Structure 1
Amino acid sequence: MKCYFSQANKWIDYEISFNLNREFTRGNKIALHLTGAEQETPFNKHSQKGELDLLYKFHRESHEIFSITGWVSAYESQQELKINFQLYELQ
């Protein structure tokens, strides 16, 4: 997965794992939990790496996403950069 950090003016790659989970939702909905860590490159080999923790919830039948929550982080010059997500479907 890739995420663009405008503060650093670059794309960051993440190695992710995912878990489909029904216990986070009610009704006919599914949750997809993504977690991961920034991929190692020659430029960040000895530096702290960013992380990712996102929860996508979508309708089981239509597969339409109705919310995304969580965060993605990266490090630039030993300073943490973080993007927080709180996107919800409006009715």
Structure 2
Amino acid sequence: MYYIIVYDIAEQRVNKVLKLMRRYLNWVQNSVFEGELSPGQFEELKLRLKKLIKQDKDSILIYSMEKKWIEREIIGLEKGDTNRII
């Protein structure tokens, strides 16, 4: 499955979340990651995120979709390198 994950995390936890997300997905923009994950990888990532964040203060949005339905267009500067293999 293909995922786009967007987060709004308090400053004291944001670096830990950023490092974790980079292990699983491609960084696209500030607080935005995308890429394909197996069901096991996705569940593992969610468990690890839940341990890092404070659910009453932080927010993570997860969009899941089939890759064949995705069309991506960039206007302006492309910030992340999506060609990197994890």
Q: Which has the higher contact order (CA 8 A, sep 6+)?
A: 2
TM-score by length of 2: 0.24
TM-score by length of 1: 0.23
Structure with max Cα Rg: 1
> As a proportion of its length, which structure holds more strand?
1
> As a proportion of its length, which structure holds more helix?
2
